[in-house]
Amino acid sequence: MIGDACPIFAQSFESFMTDSIISQLETTKQFIEKIYPYKPSIGIVLGSGLDNFVRNIEVEKEIDYGLIPNFPIATVKGHPGKLIFGKAGNKRIVAMAGRFHFYEGYSPQQVVFPIRVMKWLGVNTLLISNAAGGMNPTFKVGDLMVIKDHISLFVANPLIGKNDDELGLRFPDMSEPYDRHLISKLQAVASRLSIPVKEGVYAGVTGPTFESRSEYKMLHMAGGDAVGMSTVQEVIAARHLGMQVVALSVISDLGIREEDNLITHEEVLDAAREAEPKMTAIFRALIEEL
């Protein structure tokens, strides 16, 4: 196991923006491969309160984000901040125990940098989890929702700026951001495990404020079933890279509700942790079938 984070390896924002993205990726890849020489084929992004999935991984190496060149540092409670390498379902995987968010002050390019690193390391399939606010009136706290599509009009697109053809096309198609075959596999696995899974559209917003009542209603009218502050930028970057993506939301709070209760981050974490065993069981079984 790698030791505590060392600030000397944390690259400044200015440096991140001036170095070419390919150069950054190569530097980061070389650093990681000296520590973990195997190629993972599956990447996993663990959302708020959902990091206990790592207990189901045969961990071979953990690397603190603070040690990895060009990596941001996780600042949000419920996001430990480690890359975890190992095996799950006889597949080599890399898991992000903690992600980065635009609301932390990171640029969209920094938010998606770990996704690009995963691709550079050999990952072609990406499993994403998040905690989200329910807007579909049939949802309740603790439900799981497989994301069939997303609304990204409310977040900064991570592909803005000069395109590098080594990453992907200038104008990538987003008609199927979440792979329909992976969605079918996930639904079949969940059914076999007798775990109910909803299906819906995820609306991405910047945060860090939870939405107002009118904003929840607007997002629902726009077609959203759940809303959250992550995932969309990661998925855009992954699809730009040609990766297959499937994503699962834990409904951790209800945005459209009659009572006057307030939503807190602690409430979100508690609900996510309670639902986590179901998500973990589905991801573990899905990985075995990939």
Average pLDDT on 73-80 reads 66
Whether the Cβ atoms of residue 249 and residue 131 lie closer than 8 Å to each other: yes
DSSP string, 180-236: HHHHHHHHHHHHHTT---EEEEEEE---SSPPPHHHHHHHHHTT-SEEESSSHHHHH
What mean pLDDT, rounded, does the chain reach? Answer: 87
pTM over 0.85: yes
Task: Say yes or no to pLDDT of 1 above 50.
Answer: no
Q: CATH topology for 7-289?
A: Rossmann fold (3.40.50)
Task: Say yes or no to pLDDT of 109 above 70.
Answer: yes
Cα–Cα dist 282/196, whole Å:
11
Confidence of residue 13 (pLDDT cuts 50, 70, 90): very low
Give tens-digit pLDDT for 190-207. Answer: 999 999 999 999 999 998
Q: Which of 36-45, 79-88, 195-204 has the lowest mean pLDDT?
A: 79-88
pLDDT at position 161 is 92
Cα–Cα dist 264/177, whole Å:
30
Query: Above pLDDT 90, what percent of the chain?
Result: 67
Confidence of residue 74 (pLDDT cuts 50, 70, 90): confident
Amino acid letter, residue 61: K
pLDDT at position 5 is 44
Cα–Cα dist 281/278, whole Å:
5
Cα–Cα dist 153/19, whole Å:
28
Report which secondary-structure segment, H or E, holds 272: helix 265-289
Q: Which of 44-53, 78-87, 261-270, 273-282 has the lowest mean pLDDT?
A: 261-270
Give tens-digit pLDDT for 227-274. Answer: 999 999 999 999 999 999 999 999 988 876 566 666 666 766 666 677
pLDDT at position 53 is 80
Cα–Cα dist 153/204, whole Å:
8
Average pLDDT on 123-133 reads 95
Whether the Cβ atoms of residue 79 and residue 87 lie closer than 8 Å to each other: no
pLDDT at position 79 is 53
pLDDT at position 271 is 66
pLDDT at position 21 is 92
Distance of alpha carbon 228 from the chain centroid: 11
Task: Say yes or no to pLDDT of 222 above 60.
Answer: yes
Whose tokens are 């190569």? That residue is 26
pLDDT at position 147 is 98
SS3 string of 76-124? Answer: CCCCCCEEEEEEECCEEEEEEECCCCHHHCCCHHHHHHHHHHHHHHCCC
Using a 10 angstrom Cβ sphere, with 0-12 exposed, 13-18 middle and 19 or more buried, the burial of residue 37 is exposed
Give tens-digit pLDDT for 208-219. Answer: 988 888 898 999
Average pLDDT on 165-175 reads 94
Task: Say yes or no to pLDDT of 178 above 60.
Answer: yes
Residue 204, both tokens: 């991405």
Whose tokens are 């599509």? That residue is 149
